[in-house]
Chains A and B, each alone.
Chain A
């Protein structure tokens, strides 16, 4: 019954989405009065999808093997948390989660949006309903999560053990919240293009959504990077894998949007460009989902490969993005650009920021899809990897990081002061970083060296917006910006240190043997068999020392029986100045074990930087919400209501 209730809720929600779309068309054609029930419909639709999703969680929690999806992806022996997480660790469940977030976002938009005109809001809600409608159809016709099996099998078929990890419980939901949060920006942009009301009010209405989505994307990418780092056992934090790129592209677009939106909100300029970015950001989210879910690009992450579903998603993608781009092409001409600005001004700074981010986005997009184009045209198979991305996007990212220090110092419309004076200390810091790395590490590659230089400069430059004023009176949004920009400097330091000073050691050791990596001596004390709840394992005992004291690390290899799979569980020890990363591999005939050891100085700064960036975003969001509260209560008083 539970599964049937979920399915019924899904059908009802789909019906309401269709009704919502109809209301929009009628309202825009005749009068807005028609759309009076719109907000209520959106809220109920969101509630119904929540019901459907709760039902799915319930069948997974109860291990109801008569539901095909549970049978395929769960097992009664699995720990409870992974049973529940299994609900979205598969194609159908994750698509249900996607549409749930989409509909709930629509409900929140209906409940809380007071900033845009009623007309634009109605158009936006209609657009959100169309988006949801396509994904309802996809779920109901091509990937029903509630399909039953008869007779019910005795037990399930397990879950990819790589996904049995706490990271799984949070990583996909966080990314999906981010992806789908951008859908609201998309819908509002489409709504505004339909009504022609592209103005600063629209940008302010969009801002919390984009900011929220961007925070979650930042967190999701950072967490995903750490997950790949410790779970895959390859010692890398970013592989330029198509699926990683799929999450990076919406983030790049959202970052650009975040900045251009502020120009629209403050100055009413960059209208067409901001609308374009809002459309692109969510389109990139859909492209990302499509790439992952269709298995069109081979990737370590490809968990579901099904050309039919790929076709369905591609049709949706073509319709939505095509419609939005067509609308843009038709209506873009009527957008009047707002207040003009001079060559040196905060506006132009943000334009340059947007240009560089867009070029990086283009580079990643091209690199991800290039193998496909080449194969289509010449039949030749190739892959584009880290060397391309690092060499092409790396220098651009460094230039952008330099400008990050300059942009916030510029004032709106026109800048007449000599801001370079303010940048004396940051520039001095950068220069000393150059000299120090030249002396201490003359052989490192140019990119990590420049990374150190720019990071040293940016650490000082990022805080300049708080200098020369009372920092406690600065708006929270400014604090957020400073923190996020500091996060870039911190992350950059980690990346440069990792690229320049990591040491790696692959070797075979028998119990008693010692291998060296970086400053460490690592001795294999012994290897013992052990067992977990649903796997058996071998565990190595490693004794690592660098001078005084020693630490014990216990990397494991897990053997899962259902389905038969082997995973390497790395053992990582974090120190103030880096991480020691150890993996145990297979044994050879003579009783030796493969050991992979890395010493990664300051590598944790990479994720610390990501977390700082997200925290900065959160501060800015809080600041916007508080300020809005204060302002709106002020408005109430002014109007004499209170």
Chain B
């Protein structure tokens, strides 16, 4: 048996191991990224989530200045901490609209009373239809929409306090 053949298995093994190491070193991104980045928000109207608050429709998102659209729900645990960060953004003058997913008005009232209410408008999306149309796969997620109603950025997961400067820059860029 020639030397080349005898060492072939070892060489093959090395190749496989290199590929496996590469895979372990670059973890797979399991997030679902929206295909709507850089494209206008799909046309929609939603029922009001609360009688005391105006609802959101696609025309409300093209107002000449960038807005933050937050997809949330009262049953979503990370949303509780996120709302506090959103309050901070609101106090810096960021207009925020909420899309409330699969929720009940009583629970939502309770959630806002307990954790604060950073939203200008809240629309109710009881069957996740708008959420799916936006290309969002979970709560919480947020979209930055510019003054012409074009989606500029998708944030997957809760906006943490450490994300605030980045969000502000993105909003600035969207102007």
Residues of A within 8 A of B (CB): 272, 276, 279-280, 290, 294, 296, 298, 307, 310-311, 314, 317-318, 321-322, 325-326, 328-329, 332-333, 335, 369, 372-373, 375-376
Contact = CB atoms under 8 A, between A and B. Distances in A.
Given A307-B27, A372-B23, A314 B17 contact: yes
A534 B21 CA distance: 41
Contacts of A328: 6, 9-10
B108 to A, nearest CB: 22
B9 A296 contact: no
A372 B26 CA distance: 11
Contact of B10 (A322, A375, A376): A322
Contact of B21 (A314, A321, A369): A314
Contacts of B17: 314, 317-318, 322
A322 B24 contact: no
Contact of B22 (A272, A307, A329, A376): A376
B24 A332 contact: no
B38 to A, nearest CB: 21
Given A321-B13, A333-B1, A372-B19, A296 B24 contact: yes
Contacts of B24: 294, 296, 307, 310-311, 314
Contacts of B27: 307
Contacts of B9: 276, 279-280, 325, 328-329
19 contacts: A272-B1, A280-B9, A294-B24, A296-B24, A311-B24, A314-B20, A314-B21, A318-B17, A322-B10, A322-B17, A328-B6, A328-B9, A328-B10, A329-B10, A332-B6, A333-B1, A335-B1, A372-B20, A376-B23
B33 to A, nearest CB: 13
A421 to B, nearest CB: 37
B17 to A, nearest CB: 5
A129 to B, nearest CB: 22
B28 interface: yes
A25 to B, nearest CB: 23
A376 B20 CA distance: 9
B76 interface: no
Contacts of B43: none
Contacts of A311: 24
Contact of B13 (A290, A294, A322): A322
A285 B2 CA distance: 28
Given A272-B1, A314-B24, A335-B1, 7 more contacts: A276-B9, A279-B9, A322-B13, A329-B7, A369-B19, A372-B19, A376-B19
B16 interface: yes
A369 B17 CA distance: 11
Cβ-closest 9 pairs across A and B: A325-B10, A329-B6, A332-B6, A325-B9, A329-B7, A376-B22, A318-B17, A310-B24, A372-B19
A503 B35 CA distance: 37
Interface of B: 1, 3, 6-7, 9-10, 13-14, 16-17, 19-24, 27-28
A190 to B, nearest CB: 14
Given A272-B1, A298-B28, A333 B21 contact: no
A280 B16 CA distance: 14
A326 B10 contact: yes
Contacts of B20: 290, 296, 314, 372
A257 to B, nearest CB: 15
A332 B10 contact: no
Contacts of A325: 9-10, 13
Nearest to A375: B23
A150 B16 CA distance: 42
A373 B20 CA distance: 9
Contacts of A314: 17, 20-21, 24
Nearest to A311: B24
Nearest to B21: A314
Contacts of B22: 376
A311 B22 CA distance: 11
Nearest to A287: B16
A333 B6 CA distance: 8
A369 B13 CA distance: 12
Nearest to B16: A369
Contacts of B13: 318, 321-322, 325
A152 to B, nearest CB: 24
Nearest to B27: A307
A314 to B, nearest CB: 6
A276 B13 CA distance: 13
A17 to B, nearest CB: 24
Nearest to B11: A325
B71 to A, nearest CB: 21
B19 A373 contact: yes
Contacts of A333: 1, 3, 6
User: Which of B1, B9, B10, B14 has the most A CB atoms < 10 Å from its CB?
Assistant: B9
Contacts of A310: 24
Contacts of B16: 369
B10 A296 contact: no
A296 B6 contact: no
A556 B20 CA distance: 41
A373 B3 CA distance: 27
Nearest to A377: B19
A410 to B, nearest CB: 25
B102 to A, nearest CB: 14
A56 to B, nearest CB: 28
